[in-house]
Structures are given as C-alpha cells and as structure tokens.
C-alpha cells in the first residue's frame, strides 16, 4: 500500500490555518464583515476617524490622554490631566479585572463624593491593592468627578483617570 507523501503537509497546513483563524478571532482581527453583528461580535468597528489607545503601555507606564477625552469645561479638568474614554476604561477593566479600582460618584455633592472615595479606600484594602493600582473615576457630573480624581491623587494614588463620555 502506497502512502500519500502530501498528507502530513496538508494536515500541517490545515492545522496552521485553523490556528491563525482562531487567533485572529480571539484578538478581534478579521474583516469588516466579521464585525457586522452576525458572528456574535457586539463591539462596533472603529471608523477611520476614531482613534484608540490604551491607558497603560506594555511596561506599565501611563500613556498620554487622547485630546478627545479632555473635558471642554475647564472646571472638570484634573490636575494631572489624565482622562479615559469609556472604551479605554472598559478595555483596562477587562485586562486587569479586580486589579482596577472603580469609583462611581453617584450624586449629591460632597456627601456622594465622600462616599465614593470611602468605597475606593475599601476596595483597595479588600483587594490588597497597592496605591499604584489603576483607578477609574466615573461621574455624571464631571466637575465632581474631577474633584474625586484630585482627592485620590492627593491621598497617594498614582494612576487615576477621569472617565469622560
């Protein structure tokens, strides 16, 4: 019985092709047709005018804020000038999971602010997280959110971003 000499080569080629397709799917690669919702991918595709960068570089250093995330209201700006889009914040949360401190300033002036900051302290303690852990501050009132960011930075938190719409 004669063995087909191309069979191992074809099997290897098929396996490699399958791996490439799986990696592209896992990494979000593919064509525009792949992101039309049919394949289960619910994230919108970036248009040519959208720019997206991560908040942290591969070495852990802080990346500059995208100018589109800086609040137009000067009173809503933070001292350190670190801002994140909702998409950047979600990406960091997915990547680091419980290694991110989430602060939600719900409402109501200084009482809501104090409560949100107290919760941040509790989350840090409960997770045994260092002061260098990323902190993402969300607030419907960006001015109040900026105050929260500034207070957390004054308290020694090194990586704090105001999440802007």
Q: What is the pLDDT of residues 86-142, one digit of tens each?
A: 999 999 999 999 999 999 998 778 888 999 999 999 999 999 999 999 999 999 999
pTM of the model: 0.66
Same domain, residue pair 36 and 72 = no
The rounded distance, in Å, linking the Cα atoms of 44 and 12 is 34
Same domain, residue pair 39 and 71 = no
Q: Distance of CA 160 to CAs 2, 10, 28, 56, 118, Å?
A: 68, 52, 27, 11, 15
Neighbours of 122 (CB within 10 A): 11
Same domain, residue pair 86 and 154 = yes
Residues of the domain holding 146? 67-164
Q: Of 115, 99, 100, whose CA–CA distance to 148 is shortest? A: 115
Residue 84 φ/ψ region, left for φ over 0, alpha for ψ in the -120 to 50 degree band, beta for the rest? beta
Tell which wins on pLDDT, 34 or 78.
Answer: 78
């Amino acid at each position: 019985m004669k063995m087909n000499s191309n069979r191992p080569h074809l099997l290897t080629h098929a396996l490699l092709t399958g791996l490439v397709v799986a990696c592209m799917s896992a990494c979000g690669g593919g064509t525009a047709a792949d992101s039309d919702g049919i394949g289960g991918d619910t994230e919108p595709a970036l248009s040519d005018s959208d720019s997206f960068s991560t908040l942290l570089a591969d070495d852990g250093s802080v990346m500059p804020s995208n100018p589109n995330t800086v609040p137009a209201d000067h009173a809503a700006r933070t001292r350190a000038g670190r801002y994140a889009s909702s998409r950047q914040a979600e990406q960091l949360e997915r990547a680091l999971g419980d290694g991110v401190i989430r602060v939600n300033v719900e409402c109501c002036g200084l009482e809501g602010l104090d409560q949100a900051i107290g919760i941040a302290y509790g989350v840090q303690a409960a997770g045994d997280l260092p002061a260098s852990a990323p902190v993402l501050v969300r607030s419907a009132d960006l001015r109040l959110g900026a105050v929260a960011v500034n207070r957390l930075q004054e308290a020694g938190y090194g990586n704090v971003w105001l999440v802007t719409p």
